[in-house]
Chains A and B, each alone.
Chain A
Amino acid sequence: QSVLTQPPSASGTPGQRVSISCTGRSSNIGSHVVYWYQQLPGTAPKLLIYTNDQRPSGVSDRFSGSKSGTSASLAISGLQSEDEADYYCIVWDDSLNGWVFGGGTKLTVL
């Protein structure tokens, strides 16, 4: 059972907008910034969003992040087949004195 709760799966058709949630608590998301990662099959994770809503250089502007209270969200607009991957949120947790990952969301492009 992950400290951060993500839906195990999400799906959409090409061109659609999908959103993936990450729910935590006051000791983690409520107090610290959130990061999002994309993991394509058989590859290492890739940083997608940092500091809640910032995109690293080279990441498409179709990806956006937001945070409110103890929840965060990753949105993907103009869905493309290459977006099919696993997505993870991560944040520092004061109670655990360590980093915690969400359980991951598998995105399927129908």
Chain B
Amino acid sequence: EGQLVESGGGLVQPGGSLRLSCAASGFTFSSYDMHWVRQPTGKGLEWVSGIGTGGDTYYSGSVKGRFTISRENAKNSLYLQMNSLRAGDTAVYYCTRGAAGFDYWGQGTLVTVSS
């Protein structure tokens, strides 16, 4: 059974940067698209970004130009570089595997953007 573990969340000031990581295990990481999905406290889910097996990337309009998704297959790792952070980016960020929709999810890491 696959497992995803996110890390890197925390408190950051508006305009600041943060890099999230996701460590994958239990499946052939390089064979799957991977995604980030976020959820503000008490609100719904929002797809943030995805990366294909070939490195093609996709972003939601709300983060395009500010966030960068990347992967390192040799380390079974997914990353999300978040720049120019805003209060509206405050949320739990989930790493998900893109198979049959999003079939595996991590436990999430909380990002709080506040002064």
Contacts and interface: CB of A to CB of B under 8 A. Distances in A.
Contacts of B105: 44-46
A56 B44 contact: no
Contacts of B101: 35, 37, 47, 50, 90
B106 A96 contact: no
Interface size class of B (residues with CB under 8 A): 20 to 34
Q: Which of B47, B50, B101, B107 has the most CB of A within 10 A?
A: B101
A97 B57 CA distance: 11
Contacts, number: 59
Contacts of B106: 44
Interface residues of A, number: 24
Contacts of B61: 96, 98
A45 B101 CA distance: 12
A51 B101 CA distance: 8
Given A44-B94, A44-B108, A99 B47 contact: yes
Nearest to B92: A44
B46 to A, nearest CB: 6
Nearest to B107: A44
Contacts of A90: 45, 47, 101-102
B59 to A, nearest CB: 7
Interface string B15-47: 000000000000000000001010000001111
Interface of B: 35, 37, 44-47, 50, 58-61, 94, 100-103, 105-108
